[in-house]
Amino acid sequence: MTKPTLQSGMTRRPEAKKRRENALSYSDMLPTLTPINNNDETLYSHGQPASFTKGLKHDKYGLATKEEYAKFCSALITGDVNMGGLSISAGEKARKWESPLAGVYFNDIGVDSDTVAMAPAPKLGRSELCAEMATVYAMALTRDMSFEDLCDPQKIIPDIKTGTKKVSVGDLIAELRKLSWFDPAGKPIGYKGHTLTAHEQRRRASLWETPEKGLTIDVLFRGSTAGAKQGPYISQFMLLGTHDLTKANNKGGDPKDGKISYGLQTIEQAQLIPEASEDYMTTWEKWLKVQQGTLFDHPAHKIKRRIHTPRDLAGYVHFDALYQAYLNACLIMLDSKIGTDGDNPIAQQRSSNSMPFATWGGPHILSLVTEVATRGLRAARRTKFQVHRRARPEVIAARISQVAEGHVGGMDPAAIEQLENMLKELGFDLKKRTAREGSILDWVQQLNLHKNGAGKAAPISDDKNFLLPMAFIEGSPMHPAYGAGHATVAGACVTVLKAFFDSNVGFGEKINGGGTLYAADDADTLVKAKRQDGKNASLSDELDKLAANISIGRNIAGVHYYSDYYDSLRMGERIAIGILEEQMFTYHEKLSLTLTSFDGDTIELIQTDGGYGTNSVKTKITNAQGIEVPRDTWWTRDIADYGIVDQPAVAIA
């Protein structure tokens, strides 16, 4: 056991160096990984139609050339700063690829971007991708309903009918449940066929209320964690403010007013929201312009209120400042004097003449919650550009429309066959060349026709226009789908907050005076609601819900899939754990930090004696069944089935 010292000068420097070396050694004990993609890129000619090509030149069928795509991939893999000499095809008024080489960079803190990895994305034509597309279609159909109405099966979805009958939220649930991925009794086809990997089984089950009930209205569009499935949809961290607004004037505020003290300035939870019914890219001409990388001016937002509808949430995650929601949550918890977690004499204020500040106080956590964000974003960029290059939902929707119409050009016949499988599962009759009345595809083409007028989607027919109505005028960002930057950052930032604060205390008793709140119909008044399980929300629950809101808000906009959220969230969690582990070596006192993971594991970071030996820090993980899990087994849980783990963890002497 190496005892801590407080020496200075030449006697301190060797210890500082050794602590840093041992922190690195602790990271190096993790398994060596070689991430892989789902092989759709090489399975079909020139990487299409399920790969990211946005910004490249596209023919009238929306396909990029084999040569340009090959140059693009080569530049990404070799780190060519000139991107193979490629230029965005939209010309001068064009968007640009966003940090395509960030994943080539290395990290100076925490694990390397290749020490975290994501499983191969759902493959083209398989059951999970059908379910993911059905979900983003369903989200587009319901963007302007309140979250309260989405919990009521009788509420009517605007502008949609089955024959002459109006369509309800309950009807939408019934259609989704026809898909094998959402039905516990279904027999979906996964990555390896009918036998799903353990990871696919977990991801599928996370969409259900219970293994017996499957998908229900109580978990529609919800996150994968227990906390995200209970109570109102929106986390109270996105609605409430702080008590103390202006310390300089000694005037306290009411958290229900939704104003957060930020020094002597104020952050309002109310925001400018997008106009209702404003959807984009619902004609082939507009879709194709977006794929070329065309730059558009954003429409003005005129109305201001707290988040009340899915479109409001999509608007928030369109322009948020990366870690904005988690910084706000941190300020709310600091204002409410939420205690720090763990066995720390300074944090627990056991001394009568000192208090936390630079360590275990506001400055410590406010900087730490932002510190992890850039590492999460860098890892997400690596999975996006250097590994998976997954096409966005707007592209898969277009491919579905093309195959339904027969507007396929040089699309790979094997890919067409997989897209036909998706069409059949989604309710399209390949012989009659029409969508089943009352199917989600039927409702999507109705919505597009309502927005466009007749005959405006050519060369796609009105009754085969299954283009995904997008919440953003520019569609998805100029980078691939998998992983999701917002979800990775959510996983990292929320993990840090759960580790730092005593996140198991009741949210209501500490912050809002009791109960669970949501925005009522006027979106200005907060009213109380009950959770389905009858329990009170903990801080950990509300933080998990916050991570789900921000991540799935991007799905609601049409730019991500559920698997993007699910896997990226957990990758972000591991990035944060890696950074917290390294920082344990910097403390000269023994302490512990404890949090609940997104999968219900109890994770304890333990500094045993304040020393700097490799054995002075331990990560203890106990799964939801109460069984202790080795650190490397937990770290690779979601990728263990895919041949990504090259070398198991090794002990460092």
Residues marked as catalytic: 479, 486
SS (H, E, C) 256-276: HHCEEEECCEEEECCEEECCC
Phi, psi (deg, nearest 5) at residue 515 = 85, 180
What stretch of H or E contains 607? Answer: strand 602-607
Rg (CA), the chain: 25
SS3 at position 340? strand
SS3 at position 467? coil
Distance CA 616, CA 590 (A): 9
The CA angle 55-58-59, to the nearest 5 degrees, is 170
SS3 at position 94? strand
Distance CA 118, CA 574 (A): 11
Contact 241, 260 (CB under 8 A): yes
Residue found by looking up tokens 């957060």 in the block: 260
SS3 at position 157? strand
Distance CA 609, CA 607 (A): 6
Distance CA 515, CA 123 (A): 43
Contact 311, 273 (CB under 8 A): yes
Residue from 498, 461, 96 nearest 326 by CA = 498
Q: DSSP per residue over 549-604, as a string? A: HHHHHHHHHTS--HHHHHHHHHHHHHHHHHHHHHHHTT-SS-EEEEEE-TTS-EEE
Contact 142, 279 (CB under 8 A): no
Question: What b-and-e string marks burial along 176-186, b requiring 16 or more CB atoms within 10 Å of the CB?
Answer: bbebbbbbeee
Contact 520, 527 (CB under 8 A): yes
Question: Computed from CA positions of residues 420, 425, 426, 428, in that sequence, does the dihedral angle turn out positive or negative?
Answer: positive
The pair of structure tokens assigned to 292 is 């070329």
